[in-house]
Amino acid sequence: MNKNFEKLKPYLEKAMAFETARNLFEWDDQTQAPIEAADYTSKVNGILADEYMKSLINDDVRSILKKLQDDKEQESLSDTEKAIIKELKKTYDQLESIPPKEYREFNELTLVSNRKWAKARKDNNYDDFAPYLEKIIQYKKKFAKYRVKKNQKPYEVLLSDFDECFEIQDLDLFFHKIKEEIIPLLKEISKKADTIDKSYNYLNYDIDKQREFCRYLCGYIGFDFNRGVIGESAHPFTLQLHNHDVRITDRYIEDNLESAMFSIIHEAGHALYEMNIDDSLTQTLVGGGASMGMHESQSRFFENIIGRSKEFWEPIYSKLVDTYPDNLKNISLDHFINGINKAAPSLIRTEADELSYPIHIIIRYEIEKMIFDNEVSIKELPEVWNKKYQDYMGITPPDDAQGILQDTHWSYGEFGYFPSYAIGSAVASQIHAHMKDIMPFDEYLKGGNLTPIREYLRDSIHKYGATKNTNQILKDVTGEEFNADYYVKYLKDKYTKLYNLEVEK
Ligand code: ZN
């Protein structure tokens, strides 16, 4: 092994230990910790975060990292080591550009701002949150400026933190395509809203039975209970300590059958990705998924492409009916499949169906771009938000709680994150199209045999962790880089059929 890399290892391992501890507190905070623990835990968390930084950002690591940039040194590194160094360099560039005092102030601000946001949303009062949002944006603009390259827009710096493969021009092109094709389709469908009945979904469903069925679903798609656990939290999420310890949560709602089922399939999709990462990468800087977009592609692949297909439910629908015979005995499989795919323009992103979902993302992306191009003031944001919902979806939020205040991301300063969700859906469609070409995909699902699908994803995507980026993975798997046409085709084909719409020739 390269001598300098050897010297680096203890620093990386120490940093990883602090990060793991922090993640465990995070898990505990969201699942089991009593309410009064939060203030005390956040102090511990702050110290752990500080120690994490110190074990990575210091003179020793800086000098070793510098030596390892040398061409000769690079030659003696393995591919995994090279990827770790690249990742470390990225972290350095991000963190070192910001003066420590400003970084600390910003982190303190986000904690306060997130609480203010939660209260403002509850009180439906944007004005209470606006001053904090303004400060967060000022910091983000300043931080982006520290790192901006020649001819680069500040917003692009933020986007690159979540996926290095997508610049503004790529996203503009992608979203333009979606707007052209999907908005008219959504308008057509909203005229036929009553043709699909979904009333069965809102009957009473025993929570214990939901919990049990969701656990079954999780195992059915391949979640390994020796490497993972399922908890409960207000919002479902996945948290990975490493590939042998992946934790997911679900939320059960008594009068909503599908909410918990599709949440658990989504989170299990994230979990499978993490569990299948190669052991040679465990607890290293490249031991997680390739990017946010790639991660969402795997969760959405399982949730939507597999989980909302008729083929997936064919072998197991009778088990669902047996679990709730009173509610479902007269609901046929086709009726159920139509129900879980019902689409309509909607106000809330997290509850949106597969078809309207990308429109929610486009609205946020366009507003973020305006913010960082200084084209809109904080005061004007709710109005801009509402107008876009009217223009694209044909509906206007009745209040800000159901409008601009609905998402938590901005209160943490996470600008540039939203596009990952739409990228994920599109990547999933592209991979799906390829898999259908090379294997009897639907037959596997109908036969209740998900193993070949899971193994293919493991061997061509998951095992590489973050040693490849989104486009490298897509190129290696499908033969081409990101191409949104597959996504548009998938949505158009699926919903034209579902709603019996005229197909234009
Ligand atoms: Zn997700």
pLDDT at 503: 59
**CA of residue 261 to ligand 1 center, whole Å:** 14
Task: Give the 3-state secondary structure of 412-464.
Answer: HCCCCCCHHHHHHHHHHHHHHHHHHHHCCHHHHHHCCCCHHHHHHHHHHCHHH
Residues 100 and 209 in one domain: no
In a domain, 147, yes or no: no
**129 in the same domain as 49:** yes
Residues across the chain = 505
Structure confidence by residue, pLDDT tens digits, 257-290 = 999 999 999 999 999 999 999 999 999 999 999 9
**Both structure tokens of 120:** 């403002």
Confidence band, pLDDT 50/70/90 cuts, at residue 36: confident
Answer with the one of 76, 108, 142 that is the final residue of a domain.
142
What SS3 state is found at 163? coil
Q: Which domain holds residue 84?
A: 3-142
* Residue 505 domain flag: no
Confidence check: pLDDT of 202 > 80: yes
Ligand 1 centroid distance, CA of 502 (Å): 33
Quote the ligand 1 centre to 8 CA distance (angstroms).
Answer: 33
**Radius of gyration of the chain from its Cα atoms, rounded to whole angstroms:** 23
CA dist 248 and 238 (Å) reads 4
Sign of CA dihedral 297, 427, 168, 163: positive
Same domain, 243 and 297: yes
User: How far is ligand 1, taken at its centre, from the CA of residue 237, in Å?
Assistant: 7
Do 319 and 280 sit in the same domain of this protein? yes
The answer to whether 321 touches 328, Cβ cutoff 8 Å, is: yes
Q: Is 335 exposed, middle or buried (0-12, 13-18, 19+ CB in 10 A)?
A: middle
Tell how far the Cα of 65 is from the centroid of ligand 1, in angstroms.
Answer: 33
In a domain, 162, yes or no: no
pLDDT number for residue 50: 84
C-beta separation of 117 from 405 below 8 A: yes
Residue 504 confidence (pLDDT): 54
CA of 292 to the centre of ligand 1 (A): 9
Span 352-400, pLDDT tens digits: 999 999 999 999 999 999 999 999 999 999 999 999 999 999 999 999 9
Q: Reply yes or no on whether the pLDDT at 424 is more than 90.
A: yes
Distance 295 CA to ligand 1 centre (A): 7
pLDDT tens across 94-146, in order?
888 888 889 888 988 888 898 899 999 999 999 999 999 999 999 999 999 99
Are 393 and 457 part of one and the same domain?
yes
**Mean of pLDDT over the chain:** 94
pLDDT at 49: 83
* Residue 153 resides in a domain: no
Q: Is 448 left (phi over 0), alpha (psi -120 to 50) or beta?
A: left
Q: Which of 142, 176, 210 is the last residue of a domain?
A: 142
Burial label, 425 (beta-carbon count in 10 A; 0-12, 13-18, 19+): buried
Q: Is residue 391 part of a domain?
A: yes
Query: Which bin fits 124, alpha (ψ -120 to 50), beta or left (φ > 0)?
Result: left
Q: β-strands 238-242, 245-250: how paired?
A: antiparallel
pLDDT digits (tens, 9 = 90+) for 11-34: 999 999 999 998 999 899 889 988
Tell me: do 260 and 173 sit in the same domain: yes
Alpha carbon separation from 183 to 136, 246, 392, 425, 476 (Å, rounded): 32, 37, 6, 17, 32
d(CA 439, CA 477): 13
pLDDT band at 38 (very low <50, low <70, confident <90, very high): confident
Helices vs strands, H then E, count in the chain: 23, 3
Which of helix, strand or coil describes residue 376? coil
Q: How far apart are the C-alpha atoms of 266 and 237, rounded to whole Å?
A: 9
Count of domains forming the chain: 2
**Residue 336 contacts residue 198 (beta carbons within 8 Å):** no
Please determine, for residue 505, whether its predicted confidence score (pLDDT) is greater than 50: no
Give the Cα separation of 259 and 236 in Å (integer): 10
- Asked about 267 being catalytic, the answer comes back as yes
- 451 in a structural domain: yes
Note whether 310 and 455 are same-domain residues: yes
* 215 and 133 belong to one structural domain: no
CA distance 239 to 366: 29
Over the stretch 143-197, which tens digit does the pLDDT of each residue have? 999 999 999 999 999 999 999 999 999 999 999 999 999 999 999 998 998 899 9
The whole-angstrom separation of Cα 240 and Cα 58 is 26
CATH assignment at residue 424: 1.10.1370.30
Catalytic residue among 19, 267, 296, 368: 267
User: Is 66 a member of any domain?
Assistant: yes
Q: Maximum CA pair distance of the chain? A: 70
Residues 127 and 180 in one domain: no
Q: Which position has the token pair 């139509």? A: 338
- Which residues, at least 6 apart from 381, have a Cβ–Cβ distance to it below 8 Å? 126, 130, 133, 367, 371, 404
* One domain, residues 278 and 407: yes
**Rounded Cα gap, residues 348 and 449, in angstroms:** 35
Among residues 107, 142, 177, the one where a domain terminates is 142
- DSSP β-bridge partners for residue 239: 247
Question: Are 264 and 407 in the same domain?
Answer: yes
Q: What are the Cα distances from residue 76, in Å, to 1, 3, 73, 467?
A: 8, 10, 5, 17
Mean pLDDT of 69-81: 91
Q: Count other Cβ atoms within 10 Å, centred on residue 394.
A: 12
Is residue 443 a part of any domain in this protein?
yes
Cα angle: 88, vertex 89, 92; to 5 degrees: 90
Q: State the pTM of this model.
A: 0.94
Banded model confidence at residue 1, pLDDT cuts 50, 70, 90: confident
Same domain, 92 and 193: no
